[in-house]
A and B are shown apart, each in its own frame.
Chain A
Amino acid sequence: MDLSYGPGYEQFRNEIRRFLEEHREQAPPPRLGLAENSAAMRRWQGILVDHGYACRTVPKNYGGYGAEEDLLKTIIIGEEFRKASVSAGIASQGISMLVPTLLRYGSEEQKREYIEPTIRGELIWCQGYSEPEAGSDLAGLKTSAVVDGDDFVVNGHKIWTSTAREARMMFALVRTEPEASKHKGISYLLISMDSPGLEIRPLKMMTGHAGFNEVFFNDVRVPKRNIIGRRGQGWEVGKATLVHERNMLGASDHSMTMLQSCMKVLDDCGALDDPLLADQAMKLAARTMAMKYHSLRMLTDKLKGRSPGAAGLITKLNGCQLNHDICKLAIDAMGEGGILREGSRRVRDRGRWQSEYMFQLGLIIGGGTAQIQKNIISEVGLGMPREPKTPQRGTRE
């Protein structure tokens, strides 16, 4: 048991601190959520890439820093940037999902064409996986791509596409082999967002913000060379980067930060004098502390090359529920003020608590609902049998 990082890493930490001291004025102000697409942010991203603090393992010949994988260094970078309240650069789906995919499955030409502009924030991507009919059953997607000459012709409808309006390209899963089995008929395509026949409709959320979009394809032509991997290999290609290792500690860090802010709300509202609210705060503190050390345990397993087993499956389920509950407590502590929303007079923290309360509920749903996660925990984690599959029964008669 050792919670220190050791001298080599502490030296690395000092380097980062020096870097931050020297360069912090060049950084744009940090924001919640995905980093915005601004010239200032792109300049900052360039500096980070050049110094190896962003996309550090991307090889030099594709415009990266070419460092070796080192999970602890990645974590220390995150810690120091967070502590200094300096933006850690662009957190886009292009960087977190497409680039690793290209590095593993892309052709040399594709790598040279897309990686560098992506990591430097010049080329923005959006993700086209989910579909309205598929929902939790992602592999049930129906958007079709049929070969016609040198192109695929794409028809269908994607949903939950964030940054669709800002993106120049989409990486998408489409069905190219309708006769194959569900998971074997999918291909991974890169689609230009300027394509004729492609239409974007913003999707307004419960919170009032349009954080997502729907994207419609009506005979959209995509060059055949824009496929990553082979035809029918798309499920494998897309699945490989669904899990972001970078965020392994992110979830529990986020909960810790939220709990701290929530305690501040309670303190300011005098709610710590209300024993009931204080009691709830301590319940949440215990859950948060447990998730914090649970994450450290997962990290240790990772560092030692061990599989965390079933214990690795619960982070998301617990994290979203925990964050949702922290928001609920903050709202309760504010009393009637708890229902105010962004833009109102006297609203606290710019309405953050209500919108996070809703957003976390959305996360409980998004990316594999809580129900599906419980299925996985019981099946993969505890070895319980799968639901019997009976497509015909249980449907409406």
Chain B
Amino acid sequence: MRGLIAARVGMGFLTLAVISALLFFATDCLPGDVAAALLGPQATPEALATIRASLRLGEPAGLRYVHWLAAVLHGDFGRSLATGRSVVAMLRPRFQNTLALAGLAAIVAVPLALGLGVAAAMRAGGRLDRAVSTLCLLTISVPEFFIGYLLILLFSVQLGWLPSLAVLHGGMSLAQRLGAITLPTITLVLVVLAHMVRMTRAAILSVMSAPYIEMALLKGLTRGSLVLRHALPNAAAPIIAVVALNLGYLVVGVVVVEVVFVYPGAGQLMVDAVGKRDLPLVQACGLAFAATYVGLNLVADIVAMLVNPRLRRA
């Protein structure tokens, strides 16, 4: 098993390298460059030329990438082309915020989803099952930003219980912070809940007709321990996959929630960076997201192997 993990981690770094190259050349070949983005439409050609010279934008893309890679290998992720500030300094607080929000949402969403999925599977066809399914399907019928608007409209504007702005800053107490990110967290939970609940339910149901489930029933186990101790582990593979997918989404794909709740996350930073063609910043954000995702996938594969002993041989 350890050899397997080491190989996977090695592959992970290779993947990150490929991602960094892809991000670099993709952003680079998008129309416009950081100079045009910084100066806007009214820029004069001379001003553009000055900036391009100062940022060495003239060099061919390949060379710039090699410079960047060399610097990274020495631990220096470079400075933002737009602001000249260290990319890591810009990214760290925001990425911590993104992880905090994603983490909080995951702590609520994953157990809730598994619980609802198992409950729905246990009483397949019953009232609870139908209610859970309908609620889930409703949440995926509406785009994330609209869920955000509805929550703000209800809790912020009408009831005034919670702030709609999730602007975190040092001066806030923990209670204020939690208050500020309650609505974004609820939005994220609703967004990822449906997929995990439905897949958990389907995976468990497709295992429920197996002979060892009948045997467990004949041993007099409660339906709960029957599903949790016998059905769930055998149905774990697709469930782990869907949880990993949604956790990845919570980290990588949450820009819309940051915009609606004005949450200073890394998603918005990356969107700005791409808009400004600020390559070092795009790289840093991209790699942070990619590393998180590759890590999540690795953990998911390992957990899948631990849960299903037969996979260990494969």
Q: Are A and B genuine complex partners?
A: no
